[in-house]
Amino acid sequence: QVHLVESGGGLVKPGGSLRLSCAASGFTFSDYYMSWIRQAPGKGLEWVSYLSSSGGTIYYAASVKGRFTISRDNARDSLFLQMNSLTAEDTAIYYCAGGGSFYYGMDVWGQGTTVTVSS
Amino acid sequence: DIQMTQSPSSVSASVGDGVTITCRASQGIGNWLAWYQQKPGKAPNLLISTASRLQGGVPSRFSGSGSGTDFTLTISSLQPEDFATYYCQQANSFPLTFGGGTKVEIK
């Protein structure tokens, strides 16, 4: 059964850092591109970052570029998001999601992990 | 960046009604469009890719159409489990962008 499980969320002060993880199972993780998507409280979906299956291509949303770093470990079927210089605007549920090709949308999603940035 | 505009932002309908949601891209995206359904407290679920391709397990009452800049998601006969928020997402180029969402509520 296809499964993605995020972890690492929590409460952090403005300017702080967090590292999110996403553990995959039930599919060939190394064949999938992966993304992080976030959803602020009561708001819509916002794409954050993309990482190709091999790890060779990376994109970031302008709102996080220079502060967030996406990475993956295909040997451990894991995706990561290092988040630095956090602000209140980064408060959201963070989902990892992916698919076989980004042209075809994201057909696997985790349940999300909540990040709250507050003093 | 490609802006995705969904309408309406919300719609009230009854079980058995048909509902159509529109998504417009700020520039042409071919058929590189996906539709998602999200229920409260849950992750989104991919319903349709490449504008009209139904994902496995998605009921046939859902259909998608369009190309270029104008797309629609149609639910032919609403069922109780269809009351949710629906998002379109362009998959043509980065940054990937989502529409603002359409909440389908029970009348």
User: Residue ranges of the alpha helices (H) in A24-97?
Assistant: none
User: Residue B18's CB: how many other CB atoms inside 10 A?
Assistant: 11
Give pLDDT, residue B77. 94
**Contact residues, chain B, for A45 at CB < 8 Å:** 36, 38, 44, 87, 89, 98, 101
Give pLDDT, residue B41. 96
Distance between CA atoms of A47 and A54, rounded to whole angstroms?
Answer: 20
For the stretch B1-42, pLDDT in tens is 999 999 999 999 999 999 999 999 999 999 999 999 999 999
The two tokens of residue A9 are 């969320």
Q: What percent of chain B has pLDDT over 90?
A: 98
Tell which of A39, A103, A107, A108 to mutate to test the B interface (max B CBs under 10 Å): A103
The two tokens of residue B64 are 């998608």
Give pLDDT, residue A97. 98
Distance between CA atoms of A41 and A93, rounded to whole angstroms?
Answer: 8
β-pairing verdict for B70-75 and A3-7: unpaired
Chain mean position to CA A18: 12
Report the mean per-residue pLDDT for chain A: 97
CB distance from A89 to chain B under 8 Å?
A: no
Give pLDDT, residue B8. 98
**Contact residues, chain A, for B91 at CB < 8 Å:** 102-105
Give pLDDT, residue B14. 95
- List, for chain A, all residue ranges whose pLDDT scores fall below the cut of 50: none
Which run of H or E residues covers position B39?
A: none
Give pLDDT, residue A107. 96
Distance between CA atoms of B79 and B92, rounded to whole angstroms?
Answer: 31
Q: A 37-66 residues with CB below 8 A of B?
A: 37, 44-47, 50, 59, 61-62
- Interchain CB distance below 8 Å, B44 and A110: no
Distance between CA atoms of A48 and A108, rounded to whole angstroms?
Answer: 16
CB distance from A75 to chain B under 8 Å?
A: no
Q: What DSSP designation does A74 have?
A: G
Give pLDDT, residue B11. 97
User: Residue A29's CB: how many other CB atoms inside 10 A?
Assistant: 23
- Interchain CB distance below 8 Å, A62 and B43: no
Whole-angstrom Cα Rg for chain B:
13
Give pLDDT, residue A56. 93
For range B41-53, the mean pLDDT: 98
Identify the CA nearest to A36 among candidates A12, A14, A67.
Answer: A67
Give pLDDT, residue A45. 98
Report the mean per-residue pLDDT for chain B: 97
CB distance from A114 to chain B under 8 Å?
A: no
